[in-house]
Amino acid sequence: MDLRHLRYFVVVAEELHFTKAAQRIGIAQPPLTFQIKALENELGVQLFDRQPGRVSLTEPGKIYLEEVRVILEHVRTAALRCQLSAKGVTGRLKIGFTESASFREEMTNALHQYRSLFPQIDISLEKNRTGPLMDSLRQGRIDVAFVRPPIESDAEIQFVLISTEPMVAVVPKGHRLEGSSTIALEELRDELFVLYSRTTRSGLPEMVINACEASGFMPKVVQYAPQISSTINLVAGGLGISIVPACMRSSRADAVRYIPLTGAGAGISARLGIAHRVKGLLPAAENLVRLVTADAAVS
């Protein structure tokens, strides 16, 4: 059954006059009469009672009009929802992020602004390390990810850098270096280190180790923690010292002290970016990437 027949039927039912209905639709009256008759033949039901100078709906026609209006409204709603989804106004968005990314305003501000612009998008969040997040991204379990480099961009994945920040030393209160305004890596030669997860020879932990080696010593790592926040908690507990992104300075300020690095340590930086699949990116995800990268370009 052609939707056009249903729309024609509704107009005739509203006008109860074939000539006026044809003018409203923008076609000649004979083709309209033919279309309505074809609809009645398909249904096997007379929809209109045609009398000289008068057209009225039959009882079956009245019932059919009610149902057809519902059908056409569903069709209109379906088209609207489809169009909104294609524009990224409605739908779902799965976002991955590393723990330290949630301390950066580039991520939090972007999510706040995105929710304001696209309130009908259902957002779900997944926190994990960069490696597992990249696996989830490649396998389609998430749509975008706020992650720390190094990231291997290829034909499948695109990574856009959005911020760079210094690394800082974190020591427990009462530590011999607590009162220092700055710290050189060489001063940490004899310290016990607590670092966060080192699943591959890349990322922030490896940068710290490489920087220490460049300063003439191998750090004495006594514990690897699953997340940066737990690393700081272990430092607060006196297990050792660590080096973390500067954005973490609000964490456990009651029990630790954050001190800027100088010398070779000043060259260690933590970078943050947004990664996404090159192909098959949902419109909702495209809008977030566009928002994040536009803000990064401005700043």
Strands 183-184, 256-262: pairing is parallel
Domains of the chain: which residue ranges? 3-86, 93-299
227 closest CA partner among 248, 207, 212: 248
Q: What mean pLDDT comes out for the span 257-285?
A: 90
- What Å distances lie between residue 81 and 94, 124, 137, CA to CA? 19, 20, 26
Into which CATH architecture does domain 93-299 fall? 3-Layer(aba) Sandwich (3.40)
258 closest CA partner among 270, 268, 250: 250
Does residue 200 register a pLDDT over 60?
A: no
Query: Strand runs (DSSP E) across the chain, as ranges?
Result: 48-51, 54-57, 91-97, 121-127, 144-147, 157-172, 183-184, 192-196, 220-225, 242-245, 256-262, 269-277
Mean pLDDT, the chain, rounded, equals 90
Residue 155 C-beta-side C-alpha neighbours within 13 Å: 0
Window from 73-82, 122-131, 161-170 with minimum mean pLDDT:
73-82
pLDDT-derived band of residue 201, with 50, 70 and 90 as boundaries?
Answer: very low
pLDDT tens-digit map of 120-129: 999 999 999 8
- Domain pair 3-86 / 93-299, same fold: no
What percentage of the chain exceeds 90 in pLDDT? 71
CATH of domain 3-86: 1.10.10.10
pLDDT tens-digit map of 226-268: 888 899 999 999 999 999 999 999 999 999 999 999 987 888 8
pLDDT-derived band of residue 36, with 50, 70 and 90 as boundaries?
Answer: very high
What does the DSSP 8-state code read for residue 252?
A: T
Q: What is the pLDDT of residue 139?
A: 93
